[in-house]
């Protein structure tokens, strides 16, 4: 799985980038077949002024569907990234569950299957 971490108006340490990549990879391993790439953008919206201005934007490019996009904002960079990754995991789980349900319904109503009377 290709995971790219970008920063804008904020310096990220190599250990923080590695930690973000590791958490995303661990959470999304079970969905790896569905994912083409993951792009994480960490931004300090107001620059050095402080406040709740850190943003974590995660976009997951899927193979057979549109992208999943999650964005979180807050004061703490680690907190914002953690919440965004947790929300991403839940969103991917819901998407996979919907896909399973659609496949199940299609198999159930398939005209190729013999109908019992």
Q: Could you give the domains of the chain?
A: 2-108 (3.30.160.100)
Token pair recorded at residue 8: 């804008």
Strand ranges inside 1-117, DSSP E: 2-8, 35-44, 54-62, 68-74
Q: Above 80 in pLDDT, residue 48?
A: no
pLDDT band at 99 (very low <50, low <70, confident <90, very high): confident
Question: CB neighbours of 36 closer than 8 A, spacing ≥ 6?
Answer: 2, 61, 62, 63
Average pLDDT of every residue of the chain: 90
pTM of the shown model: 0.85
Q: Where are the alpha helices (DSSP H) in 5-76?
A: 14-28
């Amino acid at each position: 799985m290709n995971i790219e971490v970008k920063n804008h108006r904020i310096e990220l340490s190599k250990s923080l980038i590695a930690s973000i990549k590791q958490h995303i990879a661990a959470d999304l391993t079970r969905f790896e077949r569905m994912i083409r790439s993951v792009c994480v953008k960490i931004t300090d919206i107001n620059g050095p002024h402080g406040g709740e201005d850190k943003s974590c934007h995660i976009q997951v490019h899927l193979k057979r569907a549109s992208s999943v996009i999650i964005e979180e904002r807050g004061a703490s960079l680690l907190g914002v990234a953690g919440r965004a990754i947790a929300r991403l995991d839940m969103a991917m789980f819901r998407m996979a569950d919907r896909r399973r349900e659609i496949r199940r319904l299609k198999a159930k109503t398939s005209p190729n299957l013999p109908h019992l009377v």
